[in-house]
Structure formats: structure tokens, C-alpha cells
Amino acid sequence: MSKKFQDFPLTVFFTLALAANVLLWNSSSKMQPRWANVPPPPTAAGLSASFLGDREMAYRTSAVALQSFGNGMTEVQALKDYNYDYLRKWFFLADKLNHKSDYVPFLAAYYFGATQNPQQLYPVIDYLRTVGKYPEKNKWWWLGQAVYLARHKLNDQKFALQLAEELAGTYHLGMPAWPLQMKAIIASDIGDKELAYGMMVEMLKSGADTMPPQEINFMLDYICNHILTPVQKGKDALCQGR
């Protein structure tokens, strides 16, 4: 048999393989990968076990996963399209692995808190509300961020006032005065001027000795120019000269 006929089956095979490759390319060239959204998280024990019990490595991996969701396809996904119920579970997974780090609370407050759909913020606020009551230094800040999200993004002033009361409960020496002031400011915003006035006056009576002058001035200015009416301001001894 001549060499020409010996090579014929091989030639046919490569021709068919090339044709199949061209057909496959034509049929799939317009296909795009689909985003599967935020997946359900593993358990803390399971994720830790995958790193031979190294909980810190597991924590860092979960944090990287959080900041990478929605950015691995051909386009960046909008935050409003994320599954925030699953995100909440990822937040608390990271919290179980390392409750002292502020990295995941930072992501929750400043990244995921920027969603275009305010109704998705409840899982974020729930997480920040929990973390913000931990005894470690400055954890109260995250509860303050929960107040901000409820007040300015959700526009739910009653919920914000409830969170502000919880924030005030974390107050200790060395903290600025605004976590205490927040209750009065929100009460004033929702129309309860008498409550706001009473709270701020009580704060001045009990804490003026330890407050910086600029915080005292802020409170007096707020009382006189935001809570009281012009007539009430003229009669109040605190507002003389303001």
C-alpha cells in the first residue's frame, strides 16, 4: 500500500477534528460566563479544617472571598444584585474565625453598605450592631456606622433612635461625646424636641467637666439653634450670647 493511502485516515481525522473545533467555536463564541451570585458559606469549622486548623488563614481567605464576589466575571456586578442574606452569613462566619479584626466590619460598612437598594442594608446593620457591642477598644464605632446607615440610607429614624440608644450604652471614658449626643439629635429630627432637649441638658450637667470645649460648644449650638424655637432660645439661660 502506498504511503499516500496510509496517511489518508490520519488526514481525515485531523480534518474532522478541525471542523469540529470551528463549529464549537462558532457556537460558543458569544456565550458569556454567568455569575452565580454569592454562594452559601461553609461552616467555620469546615473552613478552618481546610487550612489544617489555621483559623487566621481561614479568616483571611473568607475576607478575600467577600471582597471578590461579583468581580471575577467579564464585568463587575452591581451591589444591588448581591444576595445579602448570604453575605450576612459570610460576615458572621468571619466573625467566628476572628472577632477582633476590623477588616470585615470595614467591608460591611463602607463597601456593602453602599448598595443601591437600601432595603438590603438590614443584614449589614444586624452584623454591625453585633460587632459594635464587643468590649474590644473602638468596636463601638461599628454600631455608630449602623446608626448612620439606618438614619441616612434607610431613612428609618425610629430604628436609628433604637440603635443610638444601644450605642449610648457602650459609652465609657475616653470615647468622644457624639455617641451619647446621637440619641438627642435623632430625637430632635423625628420631632421629639422636648426629649432631645432633656437629654442634651443632662449630658452637659453630668459630663461637661470631662468634655472638650468644642464638644460643649457643639451641644450648646445644637440646643439653641436646632432644638429650641427663637422664642424659647431667648428665654433659655444656656443660650445667652448665642
At residue 17 the predicted structure's pLDDT band, cuts being 50, 70 and 90, is low
For residue 4, pLDDT beyond 70: no
Say which range, 49-63, 70-84, 218-232, has the weakest mean pLDDT: 70-84
Coil, strand or helix at 233: helix
Q: How far apart are CA 144 and CA 149, in angstroms?
A: 9
Highest mean pLDDT among 27-36, 49-58, 194-203, 212-221: 49-58
For residue 51, pLDDT beyond 60: yes
For residue 162, pLDDT beyond 70: yes
Decide which of 51 and 91 is more confident: 91
Which pLDDT score, from 0 to 100, does residue 177 have?
A: 83
Please answer whether residues 61 and 51 qualify as being in contact, where contact means their C-beta atoms are separated by less than 8 angstroms: yes
Give the chain's end-to-end CA distance (angstroms, integer).
112
pLDDT digits (tens, 9 = 90+) for 101-145: 999 999 999 999 999 999 999 999 999 999 999 999 899 999 999
What DSSP string runs through 64-126? HHHHHTT-SSSSPPPGGGS-HHHHHHHHHHHHHH-SS-SHHHHIIIIIGGG-S-GGGHHHHHH
pLDDT digits (tens, 9 = 90+) for 28-41: 555 555 667 888 99
**Number of other CB atoms surrounding residue 9 within 10 Å:** 9
What is the rounded average pLDDT of the residues 149-175?
Answer: 91
Which pLDDT score, from 0 to 100, does residue 5 have?
A: 47
**Number of other CB atoms surrounding residue 164 within 10 Å:** 26
Handedness of CA 202, 208, 211, 212 (dihedral sign): positive
Please answer whether residues 12 and 22 qualify as being in contact, where contact means their C-beta atoms are separated by less than 8 angstroms: no
Please answer whether residues 124 and 109 qualify as being in contact, where contact means their C-beta atoms are separated by less than 8 angstroms: yes
Which pLDDT score, from 0 to 100, does residue 8 have?
A: 53
Provide the grid cell at 188. Answer: 430632635
For residue 70, pLDDT beyond 80: no
